[in-house]
Chains A and B, each alone.
Chain A
Amino acid sequence: MAVREVPAEEITKTIKRLCMEANTVLGDDVIEALRKGYRTEESPVGKHVFSELLENAEIAKEEGIPLCQDTGLVVVFVELGQDAHVIGKDFNEAISEGVRQAYKEGYLRASTLDPLTRKNFGDNTPAIIHIDIKPGDRIKLALVPKGFGGENMSRVILFPPAAGIQGIKDYVIQRVEESGPNPCPPLVVGVGIGGTLEKAALIAKKSLLRPIGQRHPTPDIAKLEEELLRDINKLGIGPQGLGGTITALDVHIETYPTHIGSLPVAVNFQCHCDRHKEAII
């Protein structure tokens, strides 16, 4: 198959657009989930929170201002077709340049800094980039401006195999309960099961790209998602932790083969401001 040339400039432009869109326009799946929440939440205060979140989404879209002031660290999942050849610039830099331009021109907050000196770089770069090589000549870019209210409450644990499915369920529910109002519920709860330490965390994060309401294609895993969602919503934490019947909008699980001696489980929280956009070049 012939190699397809893709100018790096194309990647920069796409990343810039995705950053700006993701930060100001909530996806239809999220809006629908918030509307459903407004209809079904039993707590009056919780219902009020849902109405505020819907109004917030309208204002952000109308005025082109960020939905949330935490415009996140930019996480980019790249599916790079092995027959695509990026030309003209360093691939990672092409992504960072898109982030740089979006955060400056879109009046988005620069939150990225050196972890030790705590000096802010001022342009929200570098992005966190995960690359997966795939067949074909296309480049798929999926972008999440990841807020850290949810990120700070996320955890990975390496259970012994004996923990089993019950151990996984107990752990996820315990994480939601301990986190309470901090990760900005109602949440999307991403769960990564299997792999290694970093693989579990990575698939937990990647599961957040899936639209709200879409179940895992494997029936047993889909059932586990539904059971966890039901149990999480019994906790009473509710919207913003002020009490209510909707603590999570959805639970997404991804799995990966693991070692005979381990059962890694990662829980990655996404707040209700569930920003994710993707494009194919």
Chain B
Amino acid sequence: MNEAISVKTPLTDEVVEKLKVGDRVLINGVIYTARDAAHKRLVELVNKGEDLPFDIEGQIIYYVGPTPPKPGKPIGSAGPTTSYRMDSYAPLLLAKGLKGMIGKGSRGIEVIEAMKKYKAIYLAATGGAGALISRAIKKADVVAYEDLGPEAIRRLVVEEFPTIVVNDVNGNDLYQIGKNQYKKT
């Protein structure tokens, strides 16, 4: 496996363009959490022409609904949820400046096309490794939609948060590439 590349958020076009399908990427800085219910509200805001609860320019959204933190911990178990459920919302957020998404599982063609158009990437974190991933999360604060509980939008401060590039700005797809490489007849 290739050596991992460390990046810092917010991401720029220059950084995103260098990241290629299959690269291991360690994320540092701030990322935001959002899943189904929060996406619905974010897109409603955009459609009404209102401001989002955080500046989305250059940011990464992590598809996660963490478990509650134990006392003294910033967060509980915090692995990725399945990304296709956010597909209908993602292109609009990419148009607004979102540069990265972290989740697990395949994206639809509209999302892959939007990533090419707006220069953004899709990264996978290991699903079901929520305890391991929680160690990369140093701080977590709810910034919007507290009523959604685990689905609230949180601002996470992360260090060397482990991901792998699934879709790069050229529209490559690691799930297709990996499968074709190991398929046996």
Contacts and interface: CB of A to CB of B under 8 A. Distances in A.
Interface of A: 42-45, 48-49, 52-53, 55-57, 59-60, 63-71, 107-111, 118, 120, 122, 147, 149, 152, 180-182, 184, 234-238, 240-245, 271-273
Contact of B164 (A56, A109, A242): A242
Nearest to A272: B128
Contacts of B37: 118
A3 to B, nearest CB: 41
Given A59-B132, A63-B70, A107-B70, 15 more contacts: A43-B181, A45-B22, A52-B132, A55-B129, A56-B128, A56-B129, A63-B131, A68-B129, A69-B78, A70-B65, A109-B67, A109-B76, A110-B150, A149-B128, A181-B104
B128 A53 contact: yes
B47 interface: no
A151 to B, nearest CB: 10
B13 to A, nearest CB: 26
A182 B162 CA distance: 19
13 contacts: A44-B1, A45-B1, A45-B164, A65-B76, A65-B77, A65-B134, A68-B128, A109-B66, A110-B150, A184-B127, A237-B179, A241-B175, A244-B182
Nearest to A182: B105
B143 to A, nearest CB: 19
B69 interface: yes
Contacts of B66: 69, 109
B12 to A, nearest CB: 27
Contacts, number: 170
A110 B149 contact: yes
A59 B76 CA distance: 12
B8 interface: no
Interface of B: 1, 22, 37, 64-70, 73, 76-79, 81-82, 84, 104-106, 124, 126-132, 134-135, 148-151, 162, 164, 174-175, 177-185
Contacts of A43: 178, 181-182
Given A107-B67, A122-B149, A243-B181, A180 B128 contact: no
- Per DSSP, chain A at the interface is loop
B182 A238 contact: yes
Nearest to A62: B131
Contact of B132 (A55, A70, A152, A182): A55
Given A109-B66, A235-B179, A242-B174, A69 B79 contact: yes
> Max chain B CB contacts within 10 Å: which of A63, A107, A122, A242?
A242
B7 to A, nearest CB: 19
B149 A68 contact: no
A236 B181 CA distance: 7
Contacts of A182: 82, 84, 104-106
A110 B67 CA distance: 8
B106 A69 contact: no
A271 B68 CA distance: 22
A43 B22 CA distance: 13
A43 to B, nearest CB: 6
Contact of B105 (A44, A63, A181, A238): A181
B77 A67 contact: yes
B182 A53 contact: no
Nearest to A148: B82
A105 B183 CA distance: 45
A235 B66 CA distance: 32
A242 B76 contact: no
A194 to B, nearest CB: 30
